[in-house]
Homo-oligomer: A and B are copies of this chain.
């Protein structure tokens, strides 16, 4: 096993521990389907260029197709002692077609392969995220529909602010995830998988041979593969990885904020909603606990994604052109974050429908008179009180209510009039209801 793709000029054998340290097969196997695709196109290009006979290319393509099916079936088991995926694929092919496999790497470089593989991986997974976000948005939409007319408390500074509808809350998250989707769909246009860059400088295989091979392999051009026009850039470029991680970091920020809202709202103190028990856990010591574990893990995962993004930015900083081995370190952070985010989106899409509002508790909380300060001020403004003055009047009213330990709803009309003649219990009571508030909003 582990026949290397290089080594003619070396007289010393590689240090065994270094081999283990530098090996990537345990993670880059993730890219097998794309690597086989690269080989398929490359074999066809070699054949088109007259560097492989039709018989040879046929045999190689057949073996590659068998390998592709293995990968799809989850039956791809590379030898863990292989240096990397590219060596593993070639050595597996050799078991099928013998020394013909050695021709596979003709005028090809792993630099070209890995850049191709990783770009296709990024595109495919961006698409998958996009689809999962669509489903998540639908889940928010259904939740919003279920509680369409349920008034709710809106917060600023984590302090009660104004009455909103619960559907506004859902809508806010749907908006955020909508922006994430927009970013992901634009992202796909930023990532163009290329082939034919050689190690850094292109090769003597004609562009036309590659172009024809691409057409034969992906006739509808769904993968938007092109022949490398700027090979030096292609093998140096990891923009696709950093940009996807950036998009994930923003998305993850949204997730963490939603998680925080859920954690808050499900405390005994807020108590606005019941979270689906299937996503909560208990305590090994405290028998009563029901903890919002999924939400905590989603909140905390902001650390992982931000860390992975930073990891790439640091590694790429200041690398001279073109390929440097440091760039091998892009894969683990990328794979980690992609898998994490996909799993989070799955979890969320099943968690969200399980949210149940505790409407009685919310109704009670909506009695808090503070929530209606803006509406009282608005009412005064429409009676020609300058806003700043109206703001002061309501502020005074609240202070009076607090220091006198009396509800605003209970202040006699005579006293109310001292604040402003337009104020009366009848008026205030009609204003200080969720229904009034929601009706009054701009639309």
Contacts and interface: CB of A to CB of B under 8 A. Distances in A.
Residue in A162, A317, A328, A389 whose Cβ sees the most chain B Cβ within 10 Å: A317
Contact of A322 (B4, B172, B300, B365): B172
A9 B290 contact: yes
A22 B281 contact: yes
Contacts of A256: 317-318
Contact of A161 (B200, B269, B393): B200
Contact of A284 (B86, B168, B294): B86
A404 interface: no
A78 interface: no
Given A107-B285, A286-B161, A303 B310 contact: yes
A394 B303 contact: no
B289 A6 contact: yes
A106 B301 contact: no
Contacts of A27: none
B155 A287 contact: no
Interface string A254-285: 00110111011011111100001111111111
B201 A291 contact: no
A123 B209 CA distance: 43
B328 A307 contact: no
Residue in A13, A203, A294 whose Cβ sees the most chain B Cβ within 10 Å: A203
Given A8-B396, A102-B388, A317 B317 contact: yes
Number of copies: 4
Contacts of A307: 307-312, 314, 333
B51 A381 contact: yes
A377 interface: yes
A90 B206 CA distance: 64
B285 A232 contact: no
Contact of A391 (B155, B287, B299): B287
Interface stretch (A29-37, A124-132, A218-226, A236-244): A236-244
A291 to B, nearest CB: 4
B8 A282 contact: yes
Interface string A78-103: 00000000100000000000010011
B395 A9 contact: yes
A427 interface: no
Contacts of A302: 313-315, 317-318
A159 interface: yes
A428 to B, nearest CB: 14
Contacts of A297: 21-22, 325-326, 328-329
A306 interface: yes
A442 to B, nearest CB: 5
A387 B90 CA distance: 13
Contacts of A440: 204
A9 B250 contact: no
Interface stretch (A58-66, A67-75, A178-186): A178-186
Interface string A154-196: 1111111111100011011101100100110010011000001
Given A8-B287, A159-B290, A171-B232, A103 B386 contact: yes
The 3 nearest A-B residue pairs measured at CB? A8-B395, A300-B326, A307-B311
9 contacts: A9-B398, A14-B278, A22-B281, A154-B321, A157-B263, A157-B296, A210-B442, A257-B320, A303-B326
Given A17-B343, A314-B317, 8 more contacts: A9-B290, A9-B398, A10-B290, A18-B294, A111-B156, A172-B232, A182-B189, A307-B311
